[in-house]
Amino acid sequence: MTMKTMMTTQLENGRETQVLLADGLKDLSSHLGEYGRNVLWVFDTNTAKLFKQLPPSNVVLESGESSKTFSSLERILGAALDEGLARDGRIIGFGGGVVCDMAALAASVYMRGCRLTLVPTTLLAMVDASVGGKTAIDFKGMKNMVGSFYPASEVLLSIDTLRTLNDKEFLNGLAEVIKHALLSQNEELYKFLLIKKNEILSRQPEALTTLVELSLMVKKWFIEQDPTETKGIRQFLNLGHTFGHALESSSHYGMWGHGACVAWGTCRALEAGIAIGIGDKAYASGATKLFKSYGYEIDYRIGRGDWIEFRDHLLKDKKKADGKVLFVLLEKQGTASLHPLELQLVQHLVIAKPIF
């Protein structure tokens, strides 16, 4: 079997990312086997288990957010150098968002840029971390603070890997899909999520393939309009992330997964839109119900004693203009805008009872 092209994303300076779909893991393995020996593989402790025998040139990172560090980057670069990887060599990231980010960042700086292939194995990585060229590590407790733009030449998907995820990890990715549905220029993905909920949650391959494709088409539109986030368009993909990252950082990446934080943060952003008079209340209420129907803990509120730490993380957010943090807010389906919010309003939204 050959890999099927799902889509091609055009990025700046003529670069493009081909997204290829494998029929299954066997299909994927034979495609990867065609690269020859001038490669370095990056796995984590979860994805390394998918192989009976690991390829000879490899780095296995501890799974989870704690691996997004300079020392992990150094390990990958050191291994590349030890293996004699040339500039025309290839780094293959085989794993979730952390592995994709780390492999891509390493490829972007190794000999000022070597080839890069990503094989995202989680839903979050498939719809978010693998396409669009963002690479990053966490720094001084702040998420994704140091990074670069470096798109992979190809992204290889096998829906089979989604069956290996636990429910928490699956919902981590689904939150980004729902976020894409709200940002989409049309309602196709939103309606698919409403109608096919049971098929999606029971992880039927056909439903998941359509889900990933529709989600990636939304992301493709934004990144092609604004490849390096300089025009204020691609920033809209950060819907829910300013609230969400602050929760994720202030809970020290503990009980909250990234997707759960994005779902929670998107609902806070919907409430903020109502509070400042730009959002449609009926739409915001429907979107919040959609998140709830997939099992996200939307009504959670932080304790008053946690506000100072939450606020401090919020104020370090990358989305700033004139020293003020900008929040992505939704007016209606597919219509987003950037707004500063008064800290008093933010405090109210994250501590007080829900609006809906």
> Which position among 169, 229, 248, 271 bears the catalytic label?
229
Q: How far apart are CA 222 and CA 182, in angstroms?
A: 13
> Which position among 34, 52, 112, 353 bears the catalytic label?
112
Q: Determine the distance from the C-alpha atom of residue 132 to the mean position of all C-alpha atoms in its chain, rounded to a whole number.
A: 10
> Which position among 154, 169, 176, 271 bears the catalytic label?
176
CA-closest candidate to residue 16, choices 215, 217, 152: 152
Measured CA to CA in angstroms, residue 196 lies from 122, 208, 261 at distances of 20, 10, 23
Give the residues across from 42 on adjacent strands: 59, 93
Active-site residue flag, 87: no
Number of helices and strands (H, E) in the chain?
13, 12
Could you tell me if 48 and 74 are in contact, meaning their C-beta atoms sit under 8 angstroms apart? no
> Which position among 220, 241, 313, 318 bears the catalytic label?
241
Q: How far apart are CA 127 and CA 271, in angstroms?
A: 25
> Which position among 143, 219, 268, 313 bears the catalytic label?
219
Active-site residue flag, 38: no
Active-site residue flag, 166: no
> Which position among 115, 134, 268, 318 bears the catalytic label?
134
CA-closest candidate to residue 212, choices 270, 258, 238, 173: 173
Active-site residue flag, 15: no
Would you call 230 exposed, middle or buried from its count of C-beta atoms within 10 A (0-12, 13-18, 19+)?
exposed
Active-site residue flag, 241: yes
Q: Which residues contact 163 (CB under 8 A, 6 or more apart)?
A: 203
> Which position among 258, 268, 313, 318 bears the catalytic label?
258
> Which position among 31, 179, 245, 268 bears the catalytic label?
245
Q: Where are the beta strands (DSSP E) in 154-261?
A: 154-157
Strand pairing class (134-139; 320-321): unpaired
Active-site residue flag, 229: yes
Q: How far apart are CA 13 and CA 284, in angstroms?
A: 38
Q: Where are the beta strands (DSSP E) in 168-282?
A: none
Active-site residue flag, 348: no
Active-site residue flag, 163: no
Active-site residue flag, 37: no
> Which position among 31, 143, 238, 313 bears the catalytic label?
238
Residue type, 19: V
Q: What is the dihedral of CA 110, 134, 259, 219, to 10 degrees?
A: -140
Active-site residue flag, 180: no
Q: How far apart are CA 73 and CA 59, in angstroms?
A: 10
Supply the residues annotated as catalytic. 112, 134, 176, 219, 229, 234, 238, 241, 245, 258
